[in-house]
């Protein structure tokens, strides 16, 4: 390239950049349509894509179903848009900023499906007045709605999960007291997500007298030989797996290779989906995981999705993947957001609602067994009742087991021990409030 060409090229590229920046700057003005906008932070690429894709498909398909079958939410059309985060916190924040003002009333709710992004958005949500639903993940202390006004860890937190896993292995041993002197290893993703259960497990280990072995695995988790060498040396009685994406399948394959008995290995509910066990296939038999809600399978709502979405050629994924664990979880997450909107519509009217109004709806969510049946989610979830003091709404879970081909629920319903969890929630939330200069709301005055 000679000098003249270079200059021309430079001028052209500067022009392009300028044009692009001016496009970015102009936020398109939306007409006041009767629409409710749902942003979707997804990850369909990167090391977490095997788990991100089915979740995103379930989420989108449920919203598509409501538009196709019911014409939206009580006549308010649902619009949504996906934004790729790649599970990266910085890109997740960018996606959030990009979409928070879209639609006639702005983003309805944000569901980041990443504990890291949840932490980053937690201080932003109150300023932008957008509720943050983290169904079964996120900050465990955000159950306390008096401090975390805008966070909703609906249906379960990591502290519930850890507590229920302890209860389950305790039951297996013949009572919690029998755990004394046992050794439990936590193999965790070395990120806020994986570290979240540690305070509860430490407390439980002090209470019950078992040894807790903490084994962090560096992102993305494909290198775990050192971790499993330690497990071979230390021979823990149980292994809890707190992984995500490719880390799960690697851990299970390593466990098989190490010869660790899989019936003594328990995953959190993000470590219990088809992409995690399929690579090990038959060998992964007897591996267990926790489920808050939505195990695998198809119910009435799936029939509708196949009929109204897939038969019309609008499905987000493959037809045979409908009903997988993570697909169902995405669907339930979308459903809870929509139920929040419905609840808020009862108070504010059938029109596009703002984040503030939807937040009220989510705080007064009441989904009982009859509602679950009506929605077509029978057997997929427990009733949820939220309040200002309890943004979680349900504290129960079951255990599922992989039989080599499918996941099956193999336990009854456990309820987490709130007398253990509540004090840690209170302490952690109070610390957050103090550090971030938040004055907690008085829940007795909320209606």
CB closer to another protein out of 43 and 414: 43
Q: How many CB atoms lie within 10 A of CB 2?
A: 6
Residue 15 engages another protein in binding (rule: CB under 8 A) = no
The two beta strands, 288-291 and 396-402, are antiparallel
- Report the C-alpha gap between 29 and 62 in whole angstroms: 27
Radius of gyration of the chain (CA): 23
Q: Length of the chain, please? A: 447
120 vs 409 by CB, closer to another protein: 120
Binding status of residue 420 toward another protein by CB under 8 A: no
Give the CA-trace dihedral at 132, 137, 141, 143, to 10 degrees.
60
Shortest reach from residue 52's CB to another protein, in Å: 9
Work out which of 83, 208, 306, 420 binds another protein, going by CB under 8 A. 83
Site string for another protein, 122-161 (x = CB under 8 A): xxx--x-----------x----------------------
Q: Return all residues near 426 (Cβ < 8 A) that are at least 6 apart.
A: 144
- In 3-state terms the chain splits into helix, strand, coil percentages (rounded to 5) of 50, 15, 35
Which of 105, 108, 111, 115 lies at the binding interface for another protein (CB under 8 A)? 115
| Shortest Å, Cβ 3 to another protein | 6
Out of 77, 129, 182, 195, the residue judged to bind another protein by CB under 8 A: 195
Using the minimum distance from each CB to another protein, give the nearer residue, 46 or 376. Answer: 46
Pairing between β-strand 211-217 and β-strand 183-189 as defined by DSSP bridges? parallel
Nearer CB in complex with another protein: 124/182: 124
Which residue in the set 12, 18, 33, 90 belongs to the binding site for another protein (CB under 8 A)? 90
Q: Residue 40 in contact with residue 85, Cβ under 8 Å?
A: no
Q: What distances in angstroms separate CA 330 from CA 53, 54, 87, 111, one per listed residue?
A: 10, 7, 16, 10
Q: Does 20 bind another protein (CB under 8 A)?
A: yes
Q: Which stretch binds another protein (CB under 8 A): 30-38, 113-121, 297-305, 374-382?
A: 113-121
Contact positions with another protein (CB under 8 A) in 92-111:
93-94, 97-98, 101
Q: Which is nearer to another protein, 145 or 361 (CB)?
A: 145
Question: Judged by CB, which is closer to another protein: 26, or 32?
Answer: 26
Per-residue burial over 393-408, b = 16 or more CB atoms within 10 Å of its CB, e = otherwise: bbbbbbbbbbeeeebe
Helices 325-348 & 49-65, crossing angle to 10 degrees?
A: 40
Give the shortest CB-183-to-another protein separation in angstroms: 21
Residue 9 as a binder of another protein (CB under 8 A): the answer is yes
CA distance 430 to 417: 20
Q: Are 293 and 410 in contact (CB under 8 A)?
A: no
Q: Which of 47, 50, 86, 236 binds another protein (CB under 8 A)?
A: 86
Residue 203 contacts another protein per CB under 8 A: no
Instruction: Let me know: does 168 contact 411? Beta carbons within 8 Å.
Output: yes
Token pair in block for residue 196: 């979240």
State how far the Cα of 74 lies from the Cα of 446, in Å rounded to an integer. Answer: 27
Pick one of 77, 182, 219, 441: the residue that binds another protein (CB under 8 A). 219
- Site residues (CB under 8 A) for another protein? 1, 3-4, 6-7, 9-11, 17, 20-21, 23-27, 42, 44-45, 49, 53, 56, 82-84, 86, 89-90, 93-94, 97-98, 101, 115-116, 119-120, 122-124, 127, 139, 190-192, 195-196, 198-199, 216, 219, 428, 432, 435-437
């Amino acid at each position: 390239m000679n000098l003249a060409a270079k200059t021309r090229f430079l001028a052209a590229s500067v022009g392009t950049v300028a044009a692009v920046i001016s496009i970015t700057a102009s936020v398109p003005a939306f007409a006041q349509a009767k629409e409710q906008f749902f942003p979707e932070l997804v990850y369909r690429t990167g090391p977490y894509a095997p788990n991100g894709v089915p979740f995103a498909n379930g989420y989108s398909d449920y919203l598509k179903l409501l538009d196709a079958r019911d014409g939206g939410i009580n006549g308010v059309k649902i619009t949504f848009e996906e934004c790729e985060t790649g599970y990266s916190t910085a890109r997740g924040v960018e996606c959030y900023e990009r979409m928070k003002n879209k639609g006639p009333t702005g983003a309805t709710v944000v569901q980041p499906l990443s504990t890291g992004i949840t932490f980053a958005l937690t201080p932003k949500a109150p300023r932008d007045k957008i509720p943050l639903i983290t169904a079964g993940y996120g900050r465990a202390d955000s159950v306390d709605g008096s401090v975390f006004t805008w966070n909703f860890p609906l249906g379960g937190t990591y502290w519930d999960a850890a507590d229920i896993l302890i209860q389950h292995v305790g039951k297996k041993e013949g009572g919690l007291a029998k755990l004394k002197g046992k050794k439990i290893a936590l193999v965790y993703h070395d990120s806020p997500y994986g570290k979240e259960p540690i305070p509860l497990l430490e407390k439980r280990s002090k209470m019950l007298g078992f040894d807790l072995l903490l084994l962090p695995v560096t992102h993305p988790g494909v290198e775990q030989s050192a971790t499993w060498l330690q497990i071979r040396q230390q021979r823990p009685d149980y292994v809890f797996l707190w992984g995500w994406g490719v880390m799960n399948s690697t851990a299970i394959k390593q466990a098989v290779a190490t010869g660790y008995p899989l019936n003594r290995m328990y995953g959190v509910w993000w470590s219990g989906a088809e992409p995690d066990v399929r690579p090990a296939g038959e060998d992964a038999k007897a591996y267990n995981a926790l489920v808050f809600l939505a195990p695998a399978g198809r119910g009435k709502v799936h029939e509708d999705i196949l009929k109204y979405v897939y038969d019309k050629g609008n499905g987000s994924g493959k037809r045979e993947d409908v009903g997988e664990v993570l697909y169902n979880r995405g669907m339930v997450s979308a459903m809870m957001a929509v139920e929040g909107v419905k609840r808020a519509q009862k108070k504010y009217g059938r029109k596009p609602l703002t984040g503030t109004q939807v937040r009220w709806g989510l705080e007064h969510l009441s989904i009982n067994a009859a509602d679950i049946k009506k929605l077509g989610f029978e057997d997929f979830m427990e009733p949820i009742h939220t309040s200002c003091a309890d943004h979680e709404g349900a504290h129960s879970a079951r255990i599922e087991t992989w039989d080599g081909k499918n996941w099956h629920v193999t336990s009854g319903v456990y309820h987490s021990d709130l007398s253990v969890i509540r004090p840690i929630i209170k302490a952690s939330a109070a610390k957050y409030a103090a550090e971030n200069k938040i004055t907690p709301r008085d829940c007795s005055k909320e209606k």
